[in-house]
Amino acid sequence: MRWKSIMLLLCLLLVTPSFASAESPVSYGWGFVKSKDGSIPEIGKYGQLLNEYHSYYLDDSGEKTVYITFDNGYEQGYTGDILDVLKKHDVPAAFFITGHYVSSAPDLVKRMVDEGHIVGNHSYHHPDLTKVSKEKMQRELEMLEDAVADLTDQDDMHYLRAPRGTFSARSLKWSEDLGYTNVFWSLAYADWKTGEQKGWQYAYDQVMAQMHPGAVVLLHSVSEDNAIALEKLIIELKKQGYSFRTLDDLVKQDILPKAITQF
């Protein structure tokens, strides 16, 4: 495991600086060296690309904050339980959904919005956004946004999570042009493999081992383990002094100080 972390760090550090060109079609798979003992995950030169296109993968303020996010491509029967836990503990979350999810689980999408959560764009058909034209990207994002607006009181969308975490300078630039903030993550584990669930304790241990200030946590609601472990995670993190915030809070803390300094 240590050798894998070293190799990933070397790959991140050796990424060529030319990838920051807005016309570069070269694609990358999101990755980082996992946090240990509360350290900030290392993303190497990906940081340059994220800064260039105002994208996020964590809160770098140093405060003990957590941002809970879910990717929802399809429903497995656990999202209702997850929403129950979030409501019980007054914890906000962001759910990045697809067109299939809107059509197959409309009541859950309505509930997400009604209970104050952010519904983010994971594209309508879940394509590789680095391989499509800007026009097709726009259609993918607008179709999902319109579907959610027709179903709920959320009229628009501001946050995008690239399908499969695949991105390029061009895809970040184009989506920013279309009014989106790309949100990656700084904490995750292989929880989407529904046939390989290892129990709630494993899910809990995986998240807690990687926890760090400002973590943007990626979870998948298809995992029964996550649904069971979530309440235990929230309780423990609150005991440790963490607070749960929204993606709006994350973006605003960058914007407001800049605006204030102009007066």
Higher pLDDT, 16 or 40: 40
222 secondary structure, DSSP code: T
Could you tell me if 131 and 28 are in contact, meaning their C-beta atoms sit under 8 angstroms apart? no
Higher pLDDT, 253 or 38: 38
Residue type, 192: W
What would the pLDDT profile of 48-83 be if each residue is shown by its tens digit?
999 999 999 999 999 999 999 999 999 999 999 999
Residue 24 pLDDT: 72
Give yes or no: 71 in active site.
Answer: yes
Considering 71, 117, 126, 212, which one is annotated as catalytic?
A: 71
Considering 126, 212, 220, 225, which one is annotated as catalytic?
A: 220
What would the pLDDT profile of 193-215 be if each residue is shown by its tens digit?
888 999 999 999 999 999 999 99
Residue 22 pLDDT grade (very low, low, confident, very high; cuts 50, 70, 90): low
Half-sphere exposure of 24 (CA within 13 A, CB side): 15
Is the per-residue pLDDT at 258 higher than 70? no
At the second CATH level, the architecture of 44-260 is Alpha-Beta Barrel (3.20)
Q: Mean of the per-residue pLDDT values for the chain? A: 91
Alpha helices in 178-221 (DSSP H): 200-210
Using alpha carbons, select from 246, 228, 233, 231 the residue that is nearest to residue 77.
Answer: 228
Residue 6 pLDDT grade (very low, low, confident, very high; cuts 50, 70, 90): very low
Provide the terminal-to-terminal Cα distance of the chain, rounded to the nearest Å. Answer: 51
Residue 262 pLDDT grade (very low, low, confident, very high; cuts 50, 70, 90): very low
Which residues are registered as beta bridge partners of 28? Answer: 167
CA distance 131 to 5: 28
Question: Where do we find the tokens 């990933």?
Answer: 8
Residue type, 92: P
Domain ranges of the chain: 44-260
Residue 257 pLDDT: 56
Q: What are phi and psi of 102, to 5 degrees?
A: -60, -45
% of the chain surpassing 90 pLDDT = 85
Is the per-residue pLDDT at 27 higher than 50? yes
Is the per-residue pLDDT at 134 higher than 60? yes
Could you tell me if 176 and 52 are in contact, meaning their C-beta atoms sit under 8 angstroms apart? no
Residue type, 247: L
Question: Where do we find the tokens 């499509």?
Answer: 132
Which residues are registered as beta bridge partners of 101? Answer: none
